[in-house]
Structure 1
């Protein structure tokens, strides 16, 4: 316990960072300020959100120079091992790699890239790479906004390859597809078995299918799966106009086929930039982002409106009991939201 006559100097308060502090730190590649800027972007605080928007505005001229790659796969496909092997290859080729995640289920399951960060031990310790745990959130809209803005912050920090992993399942694949240039689907061998559980919609999102764990006794099965996937892809509409989606094999454990898939991605960028599709997709994604943010804002604004919050339980009960129609309940709630007289 400190005595009354204790004259030790008080611990100084840490200075609050300014917008310029964040911007300068990110652009100069300061990893501490990069992490703090992303935390600012992820914050639910209105004050933090306002500062974050100022930071993003000033960072915008430094963004857009990366290739954004989405990665998804069935459970057990070896995403963590692939991302580590792929990321280290890219670092050794002179690239700077950021690994992000979209995981709307993390607040419930606690399953996120945080565990993968431990498994990606080599990549997470490499100064040329940055592995960011997924923000926990119950809705895709909130997580998607944070991930999109985190992509911009990482690009401004000089990362020229952004890997966005889907940790959740289902709609998260569509969300990631909407924010990346190239979408990679990782699969396992035994094509006949997993194709039965494979959603056609997920395959239609992919710019390439990569059959992992093609090594040892599994190699021939992987080659058989590759043939089967290519047969099916022949009848599907390509995810990107002017590009033919194909299946490939790799062994993340032994590093086989990893450099080849990077060559495929480089060729994809070359072809789509030349045809104009690369930048057209980026522009369309930005507009989609704007509209989704408007929808997210209106959703939050409506359900946090005090009169709506007070009346909603009663309206729900009345609708469920059939004493009021759905359309009538909606009109009542909207009138409350718009402060109209009943």
Structure 2
């Protein structure tokens, strides 16, 4: 693969080149990984900056419907929008349906939009392992807004906050109980809570639910990365396209405030460090699956089962003799 040619085409905004590059960074083959790293290094410092927006919510809350309506509104303003939608992978077969594009039929036909579904491949945080690199590619291709839709909601879903500038949590009317499994963690991560389906018979319920969440947010400790009034709760209707423009204006205000105060750049620097450390951990774990470490680990595991070694002693021996970590 001609990396220089691919780089040129990505910087020119070619969608086919972008899709090919994302396929390359998602590949697990060693030769593809080497090419992907070369491409990412070549694109570094391109000077383009997209607004990275993470979006999470419980299944059935209307994430895909919201993203389509929100994306269409942004493209109507002349903005280029990329959607990285992560589908859950089967724990048994490893397969994914990857049906997000079919659920966003109008947006998928928009010339200013790019939708890329990816399998989560059992990754914690509801994001594919290479989603962060796909974001970099979309940014280099000239997209103004990158939306990252994650799998479900839970404690591990807070990973999306480590790759986005703004984090939105989409909620359903009368869904107060749905945060029981989320607890305080994801509430502290969210910048804006959006109560969806605020239309028809559910409109009054959505308004009450929004007020409940707004009250809960006031109980949280103020974060240094927030201006007065944030994080906040709002109502939207993806079906009627209501509240979307107001939500976008609030996102822009928050992003601009963080840029002016240095929070925006500081947060991105912290995220770069986080992903460096995550990549080191991932590669160390990968070594356990390759010989000779894999065989040594199996032999030591049998000794532990037989009672010849304690788990701690076996781990120490493996790390000392095979991973050379001291």
Show the counterpart of 2:231: 245
Residues 224-239 of structure 1 mapped to structure 2, 5 A cutoff: 224-238=208-222
- The structural deviation recorded for 1:105 is 3.6
**SS class of match (1:114):** coil
- Judged with a 3 Å threshold, the aligned counterparts in structure 2 of structure 1 residues 171 and 211 are, in CA distance, closer, same or farther, namely same
- Tell which deviates more after alignment, 307-316 or 68-77: 307-316
- Judged with a 3 Å threshold, the aligned counterparts in structure 2 of structure 1 residues 299 and 270 are, in CA distance, closer, same or farther, namely same
Q: Deviations over 1:235-294 (max 9, x none)?
A: 113566233211100110000001111001000011111111111000100111111111
Unaligned runs of 5+ in 1: 1-16
**SS class of match (1:231):** helix
Q: Larger Rg: 1 or 2? A: 1
Show the counterpart of 1:115: 99
Show the counterpart of 1:42: 26
Q: Distance in 2 between matches of 1:171 and 1:80?
A: 21
- The structural deviation recorded for 1:53 is 1.2
Q: Distance in 2 between matches of 1:167 and 1:204?
A: 18
- The structural deviation recorded for 1:197 is 4.3
Q: Deviations over 1:167-191 (max 9, x none)?
A: 2443552211100000000001114
Q: Distance in 1 between matches of 2:255 and 2:306?
A: 56
Q: Distance in 2 between matches of 1:112 and 1:251?
A: 28
Q: Give the conservation status (yes or no) of the 8 Å contact 2:86–2:149.
A: yes
Residues 161-200 of structure 1 mapped to structure 2, 5 A cutoff: 161-200=145-184
Unaligned runs of 5+ in 2: none
- Judged with a 3 Å threshold, the aligned counterparts in structure 2 of structure 1 residues 205 and 274 are, in CA distance, closer, same or farther, namely same
Task: Please provide the CA RMSD for this pair.
Answer: 2.3
Q: Distance in 2 between matches of 1:109 and 1:260?
A: 42
Instruction: Return the match for 2:262 from 269, 276, 280.
Output: 276
Show the counterpart of 1:329: 314
- The structural deviation recorded for 1:60 is 1.5
Q: Deviations over 1:58-111 (max 9, x none)?
A: 212225510000000112110010000000000001110000134564565878
Tell me the TM-score normalised to structure 1 length: 0.87
- Judged with a 3 Å threshold, the aligned counterparts in structure 2 of structure 1 residues 59 and 142 are, in CA distance, closer, same or farther, namely farther
Q: Distance in 2 between matches of 1:308 and 1:53?
A: 25
Tell me the TM-score normalised to structure 2 length: 0.92
